[in-house]
């Protein structure tokens, strides 16, 4: 599949509709594709998704897959294009060397990524720095937006 977007945001089993809506809004702002991998903890027609995306949701370039395996099969990304984000990883976001057509992949809000994904892609896992022991994690929409803008910065977009 040919993708003309600079890079993609992928949510694996998102649970909170407001986060997905906010991330969709970021995707519209940056001209990115939002890829959602089932199962979801909500229905995409839910008001909370539309409310968070406001009147922008209709402009989201959205693709859905029923599983991570289906995503890999249809998108056919190179391993070097996959960037996974989880808390408490050895590598941090500033060590990632993003490329165009990257896939920025985030797990569900409460469970993160599946253990199989974590094991298969441990070398592709990155974290956002957190310096307080009082914080377990960052909000998914905040983390996805932060990573997207770092990727954008590295790619020197817009040109």
Contact 86, 118 (CB under 8 A): yes
Supply the pLDDT for residue 1.
Answer: 46
DSSP-derived letter for residue 157 is -
pLDDT tens series, the chain, 159 aa: 445 689 999 999 999 988 998 999 999 999 999 999 999 988 877 666 666 656 788 899 999 999 999 999 999 999 999 999 998 899 999 999 999 999 999 999 999 999 999 999 999 999 999 999 998 889 999 999 999 999 999 998 665
Q: Where are the domains of the chain?
A: 7-154
Supply the pLDDT for residue 2.
Answer: 47
Q: What's the sign of the alpha-carbon dihedral 3, 64, 23, 139?
A: negative
Query: Nearest-CA neighbor of 47 among 10, 15, 21?
Result: 21
Taking the model in full, what pTM does it have? 0.92
CATH 3.40.50.300 fits 7-154, yes or no: no
Tell me how far apart the alpha carbons of residues 90 and 87 are, in angstroms, rounded to a whole number: 9
Residue 156: partners with Cβ closer than 8 Å, 6 or more residues away: none
Question: Could you count the other beta carbons within 10 Å of the beta carbon of residue 64?
Answer: 13
Supply the pLDDT for residue 156.
Answer: 84
């Amino acid at each position: 599949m040919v993708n003309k977007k600079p890079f993609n945001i992928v949510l694996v089993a998102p649970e909170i509709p407001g986060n997905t809506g906010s991330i969709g809004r970021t995707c519209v702002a940056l001209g990115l594709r939002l890829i959602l991998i089932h199962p979801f903890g909500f229905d995409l027609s839910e008001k909370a998704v539309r409310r968070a995306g406001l009147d922008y949701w209709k402009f989201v370039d959205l693709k859905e897959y029923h599983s991570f395996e289906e995503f890999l099969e249809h998108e056919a990304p190179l391993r070097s294009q996959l960037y996974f984000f989880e808390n408490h990883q050895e590598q941090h976001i500033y060590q990632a060397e993003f490329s165009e057509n990257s896939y920025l992949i985030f797990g569900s809000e409460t469970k993160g990524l599946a253990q199989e994904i974590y094991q298969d892609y441990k070398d592709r896992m990155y974290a956002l720095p957190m310096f307080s022991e009082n914080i377990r994690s960052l909000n998914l929409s905040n983390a996805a937006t932060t990573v997207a803008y770092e990727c954008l910065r590295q790619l020197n977009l817009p040109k």
